[in-house]
Amino acid sequence: MTPRILPSNVFLGVAPIVLVIAVWQGLVSFGFAPAVLLPPPGFVFGRLLQQLVTWTFQQEIVATLIRLFAGFAIAVVLGVSIGIAAAASPAINAVVRPIVRVLAPLPKVALYPALLLLLGFGHGSKITLVAADALFPILLSTYYGASTVEQKLIWSAMAAGTPRYQILFKVVLPAAMPSILTGCRIGLVISCIVVFLAEMITSTDGLGHALVTAARTFQAVDMFVPLITISLLGLILNALLGAVRSYLLRGFPEA
């Protein structure tokens, strides 16, 4: 359901955005919403462009991106390795499975105050929160992909002389790639969202912080700008991940 930016479907991808902007403009123009509360799209995008060239705003974007990437990267590394380990070893599975069942429904954001206490108000607490939230979908889809690898693929590799310990890297990991990348996509969306929210709750910089600052001074336009920025960032990153996915999975039949 995420907007897919495929060459042939660019129109389809852009159309809803155009539609929403049109509705937005309509709401303002026809007086359904006062400009003070809902500034017209033109204003907002104008302000966005204005901000994009300022150093301060760019710094906010950089801060957010650093936390986003760091948290996401940690989630990927941990999620994929634990997921594969749990699929390969019943012992690890027995330990990991109940822990995941307990931690998964827990709103990780509730841990945020604890993280703030332990890691301070800067990058560390936010990166950890992002990693904690993005970890589970990646871990679960990796586990699912790794544990449903076709048995005959493994047998074929073993007959060709692959020793047991190499099977994980040469067969299980590549075969589980579609699942892993699906989990990564979800994890990426979550990372974008969580980093923004964490910055909104408490932060000294970042896009979320920018929104909250604007809220305190009742600057509606300046509130929309960071929100749209993070959404755009999310779309761009998603598209990039989609491209990576297309390349990595070029041999696989379409799901």
What residues between 208 and 227 interact with other proteins by CB under 8 A?
Answer: 208, 211-212, 214-215, 218, 220, 223-224, 227
Binding to other proteins (CB under 8 A) within 146-185 occurs at 150, 152-153, 155-162, 171, 174-175, 177
Closest CA to 180 of 86, 245, 243: 245
- Contact map string, positions 40 to 59, toward other proteins, x by CB under 8 A: --------------------
Kindly tell me which residue out of 193, 239, 241, 242 binds other proteins, with binding defined by CB under 8 A: 193
**Number of other residues whose CB lies within 10 A of the CB of residue 179:** 22
φ, ψ for residue 90 (rounded to 5)? -60, -30
Given the structure tokens 């500034």, which residue do they identify?
39
Coil vs helix vs strand at 162 = coil
Binding to other proteins (CB under 8 A) within 103-132 occurs at 103-114, 116-118
Nearer to other proteins, 53 or 159 (CB): 159
The sign one gets for the Cα dihedral 13, 19, 20, 25 is positive
Burial class (CB in 10 A: 0-12, 13-18, 19+), 142: buried
Given the structure tokens 């042939």, which residue do they identify?
8
Binding to other proteins (CB under 8 A) within 13-42 occurs at 15-17, 19-20, 37-38
253 near other proteins, judged by CB under 8 A: yes
Nearer to other proteins, 218 or 243 (CB): 218
Kindly tell me which residue out of 8, 101, 204, 255 binds other proteins, with binding defined by CB under 8 A: 101
CA distance 17 to 3: 10
CB of 77 to other proteins, least distance (A): 19
